[in-house]
């Protein structure tokens, strides 16, 4: 079998990394090998870089590790038992890889499987910050021609956002407030707008709202300036420990609060308020159930997340990006993409 080398970004310890030559993957039975075209850098990757990611302390992850779970590419080979028709297809892949045998997996909930691997995050499944990637073919989703590599690498965060937007159960005539105008928050806002809802956003400063306004969201506020309006649903897409409680305070009685953001410390909500306001609270983990519908939304143009990508860099620039540096010439968007083939 081929063991030719390829380039990969390897995180060796908190704050320490290298672009290394490693053996290229060979497709095991049931797997496909993909030429990676684009990878998104995510806040989860930053937590691994700083060493703050909870999985490191829970024994689910360890260094050295290869990051990268928002990706797109083209299948170049397949393993035993896989239909050769997959070769040449443009694809993206589900991050969550369940065991396939437990009760949760059998019920279609592989994204909360106790034994799951998470590509580039949990377990020993290497991520996509490399020239090639090996994944179970069962995790792949085909991209139509109208969904290019950039959009393909935005399907995974888009799936999280789509599920959060749908969990609000909002449509025309309803009003939503999205807390945190980062990548997920802005994607949630785009999906809510596509559903016909009136969308408001709240950021931490006067800087992040400026970009949201460029995307056509006129109602952008800070915590001090949020208007006294009836919000039928509130989506917390932030990492601020106090905002889950604020969401519950601000939502209309009979409304919904959707939690897709994760703070670095435990958040607290008053369940008395939840009950007395008759509010429905929904937690969202993973894009898995929303990937196909996200691809369709990108393909038909009802949601166009391309402006979120500020820059595309090579593997050598990943470390500085994880450390918080903005690439030279980057636009105002929150997302940095990587082309592992460049450089």
pLDDT above 90 coverage of the chain, percent? 95
Q: Is residue 51 assigned to a domain?
A: yes
Residues 179 and 81 in one domain: no
Give the residue-averaged pLDDT of 146-150: 98
Best CA proximity match to 134, nearest among 55, 35, 67: 35
The model's confidence at residue 124, banded by pLDDT at 50, 70 and 90, is confident
Q: What is the pLDDT of residues 125-147, one digit of tens each?
A: 999 999 999 999 999 999 999 99
Residues 70 and 132 in one domain: yes
Measured CA angle at 131 (ends 129, 137), to 5 deg? 85
What is the C-alpha separation between 317 and 337, in angstroms, rounded? Answer: 10
The model's confidence at residue 264, banded by pLDDT at 50, 70 and 90, is confident
β partners of residue 199? 176
Q: Which residues span the domain enclosing 194?
A: 160-283
Residues 210 and 268 in one domain: yes
Q: Is residue 318 assigned to a domain?
A: yes
Query: Which residues, at least 6 apart from 228, have a Cβ–Cβ distance to it below 8 Å?
Result: none
Q: Is residue 22 assigned to a domain?
A: yes
With contact defined as beta carbons under 8 Å apart, do 180 and 200 qualify? no
Specify burial of residue 204 (Cβ count, 10 A radius: 0-12, 13-18, 19+).
Answer: middle
Q: Is residue 103 assigned to a domain?
A: yes
What is the C-alpha separation between 17 and 7, in angstroms, rounded? Answer: 13
Encoded tokens for 257? 């609060």
What is the C-alpha separation between 157 and 155, in angstroms, rounded? Answer: 6
Q: What is the mean pLDDT of the chain?
A: 95
Give the residue-averaged pLDDT of 18-30: 97
Specify burial of residue 294 (Cβ count, 10 A radius: 0-12, 13-18, 19+).
Answer: buried
Residues 137 and 165 in one domain: no
The model's confidence at residue 1, banded by pLDDT at 50, 70 and 90, is very low
Per-residue model confidence (pLDDT) at position 208: 64
What is the number of structural domains in the chain? 2
For the chain, what percentages of helix, strand and coil (3-state, to nearest 5) are there? 30, 30, 40
The model's confidence at residue 210, banded by pLDDT at 50, 70 and 90, is confident
What is the C-alpha separation between 314 and 9, in angstroms, rounded? Answer: 10
Longest dimension (CA), the chain: 65
Question: pTM (2 decimals)?
Answer: 0.95
Q: What are phi and psi of 312, to 5 degrees?
A: -125, 125
What is the C-alpha separation between 294 and 76, in angstroms, rounded? Answer: 24
Q: Is residue 289 assigned to a domain?
A: no
Q: Is residue 263 assigned to a domain?
A: yes
Residues 199 and 106 in one domain: no
Q: Is residue 294 assigned to a domain?
A: no
Best CA proximity match to 282, nearest among 139, 164, 155, 193: 164
Q: Alpha helices, DSSP H only, in 82-144?
A: 103-106
What is the C-alpha separation between 89 and 144, in angstroms, rounded? Answer: 9
Residues 275 and 175 in one domain: yes
What is the C-alpha separation between 304 and 155, in angstroms, rounded? Answer: 11
Give the residue-averaged pLDDT of 153-164: 98
Q: What is the pLDDT of residues 175-191, one digit of tens each?
A: 999 999 999 999 999 99
Q: Alpha helices, DSSP H only, in 183-290?
A: 183-194, 208-214, 243-250, 271-276
């Amino acid at each position: 079998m081929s063991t030719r080398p390829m380039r990969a970004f390897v995180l060796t310890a908190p704050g320490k990394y290298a672009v290394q030559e490693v053996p290229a993957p060979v497709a095991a039975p049931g797997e496909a090998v993909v030429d990676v075209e684009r990878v998104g850098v995510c806040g989860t990757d930053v937590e691994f870089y700083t060493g703050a990611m909870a999985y490191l302390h829970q024994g689910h992850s360890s260094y050295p590790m290869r990051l990268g779970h928002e990706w797109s590419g083209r299948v170049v080979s397949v393993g035993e038992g896989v239909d050769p028709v997959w070769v040449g297809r443009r694809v993206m892949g589900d991050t969550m890889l369940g065991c396939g045998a437990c009760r949760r997996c059998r019920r279609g909930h592989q994204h909360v499987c106790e034994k799951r691997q998470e590509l580039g995050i949990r377990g020993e499944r290497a991520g996509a910050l490399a020239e090639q990637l090996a994944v179970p073919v069962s995790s792949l989703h085909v991209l139509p021609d109208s969904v290019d590599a950039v959009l393909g690498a935005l399907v995974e965060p888009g799936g999280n956002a789509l599920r959060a937007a749908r969990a609000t159960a909002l449509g025309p005539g309803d009003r939503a407030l999205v807390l945190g105008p980062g990548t997920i928050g802005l994607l949630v806002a785009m999906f809510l707008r596509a559903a016909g809802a009136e969308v408001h956003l709240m950021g931490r400063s006067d800087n992040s709202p400026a970009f949201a306004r460029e995307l056509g969201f006129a109602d952008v506020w800070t915590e001090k300036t949020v208007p006294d309006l009836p919000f039928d649903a509130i989506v917390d897409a932030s990492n601020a420990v106090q905002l889950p409680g604020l969401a519950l305070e601000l939502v209309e009685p009979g409304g919904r609060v959707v939690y897709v953001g994760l703070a670095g410390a435990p958040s607290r909500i008053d369940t008395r308020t939840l009950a007395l306001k008759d509010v429905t609270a929904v937690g969202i983990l993973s894009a898995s159930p929303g990937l196909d519908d996200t691809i369709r939304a990108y393909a038909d143009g009802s949601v166009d997340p391309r402006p979120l990508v500020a820059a595309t860099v090579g593997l050598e620039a990943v470390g500085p990006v994880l450390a918080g540096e903005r690439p030279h010439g980057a636009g105002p968007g929150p997302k940095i993409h990587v082309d592992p083939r460049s450089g």
